[in-house]
Amino acid sequence: MNDLIINFTPTGMVPSKNMNPFVPIEVNEIIEEVHKANEIGITLVHLHARDADGAPTYKKSVYGPIIEGVRRHCPELVICISLSGRNFNEFEKRSEALELKPDMGSLTLSSMNFVQQASVNTPEMITKLAMKMKELGISPELEVFDLGMINYAKYLASKGLIQTPFYFNIIFGNIAGIQADLSSMGVAIQNLPENSYWSFGGLGKSQLTANSIAIASGGGVRVGLEDNLYYDKNRLKTATNIELLERVNRLAEMHERACMPPAQFGALGFYNKYR
């Protein structure tokens, strides 16, 4: 694919204002940040919501105003919400915001450990989330942190739980996952099923490496403060979302690639079926 899928990840579950004062936490901050990013050029946004104390929340009462605000300013933007297993393990909580019928929902394809926390995604949970999304016309954003997760996506497809086209986020640099080296990246791409679109993301200093290689090799990028709070690998300068996004756009321009418009990505099958 020549057009560059840019998946914007402004907030995440872990970043705080203490870590980086530029992380958008409040509803209006998130909406404004997405609006600014959309003016620069993004294809889709991956949203996390926070409660009044800044803690991650699953509640549709918080996600609702964010989605409404983003759609008001950026009506064509593909909206994905997080269904992460880091903080919430009950299906009812993790699936609640799906009732808002976003275009996509994240589906992490196995359990794993981060440095200080586990993300628990049992086979039953993955199946139930996939079925719920299918029922509501929502496309899964297939999150991969290791090669076995790609194989699990193929298993889900064989059972009819997910359907083409597929969109994979392959995220490098987690301590217990796939690393941002050329051999690992090549194997990951080679193992993707047919009719797959993909983006490379990276945790911390791996973000720039993953984004650069993806742009050079024809893939998409996942970029934002959710995964990386610093502009440089020595962690001397805290980044803003806009700085990270502008850097990606400069790299894309060098490789004569333009951001894929949201409507084009949506037309491939990634808008909500009932939109």
Structure token digits, residue 259: 């951001």
Q: Is the dihedral of CA 105, 108, 113, 115 positive or negative?
A: negative
Cα–Cα distance, 99 to 181 (Å, whole number): 39
Judge whether 78 lies within some domain: yes
* HSE of 234, CA atoms in CB hemisphere, 13 A: 2
* HSE of 73, CA atoms in CB hemisphere, 13 A: 16
Judge whether 275 lies within some domain: no
**Given this model, what pLDDT does residue 95 score?**
97
Give kind and range of the element (H or E) at residue 227.
Answer: none
Domain that holds residue 69: 6-270
Judge whether 1 lies within some domain: no
Residue with tokens 């020595």: 234
One-letter amino acid of 176: A
Judge whether 159 lies within some domain: yes
Q: How many domains does the chain have?
A: 1
Strands 118-119 and 112-113: antiparallel
**Given this model, what pLDDT does residue 12 score?**
97
Residues 6+ apart with CB under 8 A from 109: 121, 126, 142, 143, 144, 149, 150, 152, 153, 156
Q: What is the CATH number of the domain that holds 104?
A: 3.20.20.70
Judge whether 112 lies within some domain: yes
**Given this model, what pLDDT does residue 2 score?**
81
Written as one string, the DSSP assignment of 237-271 is: SB--HHHHHHHHHHHHHHTT--BPPHHHHIIIIIS
Structure token digits, residue 167: 């969109």
Judge whether 21 lies within some domain: yes
Dihedral angle over CA of 83, 11, 67, 38, nearest 10: -130
Judge whether 89 lies within some domain: yes
**Given this model, what pLDDT does residue 1 score?**
58
Q: Is the dihedral of CA 43, 108, 167, 178 positive or negative?
A: positive
Judge whether 13 lies within some domain: yes
**Given this model, what pLDDT does residue 115 score?**
87
Per-residue pLDDT of the chain (275 residues; tens, 9 = 90+): 589 999 999 999 999 999 999 999 999 999 999 999 999 999 999 999 999 999 999 999 999 999 999 999 999 999 999 999 788 889 999 999 999 999 999 999 999 999 888 899 999 999 999 999 999 999 999 999 999 999 999 999 999 999 999 999 999 999 999 999 999 999 999 999 999 999 999 999 999 999 999 999 999 999 999 999 999 999 999 999 999 999 999 999 999 999 999 999 999 999 999 99
